[in-house]
Structure 1
Amino acid sequence: MVAPNGARRTRADHPALPVTLDETVGTARACHAAGADGLHLHVRDAAGQHSLDAGRYREALSELGRAAPGLAVQITTEAGGLYDVAAQLTCLEAVAPEWASVSVREIARAPELADRVYGTCAAQGTRVQHILYDTADLALLRGWQARGLVRHDQTDLLFVLGRYSTGQVSQPSDLGPFLDALPRGSSWMVCAFGAAEHACLREAARWGGAVRVGFENSLTDETGMTWADNAASVAALRRSLTVAQAPCAASLSHPLSPMPIGG
């Protein structure tokens, strides 16, 4: 999956960061051609600010479906410091997307709405990917699953290695605590920040995880060289994943976790 812009960065951070719909569509096509299977979609308002506007989402989903058929598109419900849980729920209800990312930590700001959030997604067929920043988030999610607030088939996870902060650099070892606590049978993905982004993603792939790459999380390669655009980062990651070590083969000796994953 490619996450080409996020909620915070602008073209002041990188001139090729997509902000408008046309730029996002162009980036999606280029990244799909470079090997991306999916796109994590953020839309911006007329001022370039993060938005959960349903109309903008519907327009973007329509254009992406036309321009990049076969590319799975996931919308974000990220608050971005602007939206409360009620607004996130309204977005999900109005857009009814095929796929959405939902932060457990953000929904916990209004736990009385959790049942409606996850129930709405189940009723309208929206696949949910739970955004998790640490194992406390994972424990909260498992508690909600036990109570039936999160439905039994809503098991997709995104492990965020690090934080959205200036100068954040993730490391492959940051994956360890998540692997130790990972429920068996979960579908999981990883994103990471800074120059070690690709190294973190290669480690996740080695353990059977899916990976998310792009300018939302990192603008540079492992030497600190700035990527020309999102597609360049996607293509480089694809090349580096061509020889992946099967997770079960290394599970007993892997330094990050003693628990075998998959296999």
Structure 2
Amino acid sequence: MFIKACLNGSRAAGEHPRLPLTPDELAADAVAVRRAGAGAVHVHPRDAAGRESLEAADVGAATSAIRAAAPGLPVGVSTGLWITGGDVPARLDAVTAWARLPAAARPDFASVNLSEPGFGDLARALLEAGIGVEAGVWSPSDAATLTASGLAGRMTRILVEVIDAPYEEAVPRAAAVLDRLDGSPVPRLLHGEGPATWPLVTEAARLGLATRIGLEDTLLDPDGGPAEGNAALVRRALAEGRSAR
């Protein structure tokens, strides 16, 4: 079962005692989750003040640190529009600058949400920079938009993401999105956030899909207790996946 570890997301310092934010912390956690069984990592780089950043220097610092500590581990980053305060041109300018980073500092892939304006331009800028694109599909309408974009076949992965759903609605919502995706051979990764996290780890295993887990998505173990950290979450996800198959 392919698991991508989502190490920090938009969480603020103090939300979890082992939340990694700095390049060195992200690198140490990348080593730990790889040992636990993760096949890739997804991170939200921070600037010197601890704020989420799309600036090339901050993205490059986080990526370089992870690469040095965990050679060969694929590294992905966010392009969430909230990081530039909803400014679509500013986001495109920041991400376009990643093409000038040295290879060791350039992410392997970046997630781009279909629900945010500017998907097509941003995806093309990443592809031109040699950076893979993960299409974040949150709804059936997002799936239709991806198909209409003509870019679906160029994606590294299609992320079927269930956000803000109660536990009992997670699987039906995921099924509604999966049903709307075309027959493209592009790999799917299924995951949820909050209460939807653990039911979709199990559902991904049942369907033979990749998934993700980490402190970005949940601070809790499947039994509702506090998660020890990212590596522990990866180990639990693998165990849940084995039980579901």
Normalising by structure 1, we get a TM-score of 0.80
Of structures 1 and 2, the larger Rg is shown by: 1
Indicate conservation of the 8 Å contact 2:138/2:177, yes or no: no
- CA 1:14 to 1:115, structure 2 compared with 1: closer, same or farther past 3 Å? closer
Indicate conservation of the 8 Å contact 1:196/1:221, yes or no: no
Pair 1:94 & 2:97 matched: yes
The AA in structure 2 aligned to 1:124 is: A
Output the CA distance in 2 between the equivalents of 1:117 and 1:86.
10
The corresponding residue for 1:125 is 130
C-alpha RMSD of matched pairs (Å): 2.1
The corresponding residue for 1:57 is 59
Indicate conservation of the 8 Å contact 1:168/1:193, yes or no: no
Q: 1:188 offset after TM fit, Å?
A: 0.9
The corresponding residue for 1:67 is 69
Output the CA distance in 2 between the equivalents of 1:53 and 1:209.
32
- CA 1:15 to 1:132, structure 2 compared with 1: closer, same or farther past 3 Å? same
The AA in structure 1 aligned to 2:194 is: G
Output the CA distance in 1 between the equivalents of 2:233 and 2:240.
11
Normalising by structure 2, we get a TM-score of 0.86
Cα displacement string for residues 41-77 of structure 1 (whole angstroms, at most 9, x for unaligned residues): 2111222221111101111111111101121101111
Indicate conservation of the 8 Å contact 1:195/1:224, yes or no: no
Q: 1:181 offset after TM fit, Å?
A: 1.2
Cα displacement string for residues 142-175 of structure 1 (whole angstroms, at most 9, x for unaligned residues): 1111xxxx37423621111123xxx965633332
- CA 1:151 to 1:134, structure 2 compared with 1: closer, same or farther past 3 Å? closer
The corresponding residue for 2:207 is 207
Output the CA distance in 1 between the equivalents of 2:156 and 2:81.
21
Runs of 4+ in 1 over 6 A off after TM superposition: none
Pair 1:178 & 2:139 matched: no
The AA in structure 2 aligned to 1:87 is: A
Matched residue pairs, number?
232
The corresponding residue for 1:138 is 143
- Structure with the bigger RCO (C-alpha within 8 Å, sep 6+) is 2
Indicate conservation of the 8 Å contact 1:195/1:223, yes or no: no
Indicate conservation of the 8 Å contact 2:163/2:193, yes or no: yes
Output the CA distance in 1 between the equivalents of 2:126 and 2:7.
24
- CA 1:18 to 1:157, structure 2 compared with 1: closer, same or farther past 3 Å? same
The AA in structure 2 aligned to 1:174 is: R
The AA in structure 2 aligned to 1:199 is: P
Output the CA distance in 2 between the equivalents of 1:69 and 1:243.
31
- CA 1:186 to 1:152, structure 2 compared with 1: closer, same or farther past 3 Å? closer
The corresponding residue for 2:159 is 158
Q: 1:24 offset after TM fit, Å?
A: 1.2
Indicate conservation of the 8 Å contact 2:45/2:58, yes or no: yes
Give 1:104's match in structure 2, choosing from 106, 114, 123: 114
Indicate conservation of the 8 Å contact 1:132/1:138, yes or no: yes
- CA 1:152 to 1:200, structure 2 compared with 1: closer, same or farther past 3 Å? closer
Indicate conservation of the 8 Å contact 2:46/2:53, yes or no: yes
Aligned identity (percent) is 32
Cα displacement string for residues 166-224 of structure 1 (whole angstroms, at most 9, x for unaligned residues): x9656333321012112222311122123452231121122122101111111102221
Q: 1:117 offset after TM fit, Å?
A: 2.4
Q: 1:229 offset after TM fit, Å?
A: 0.7
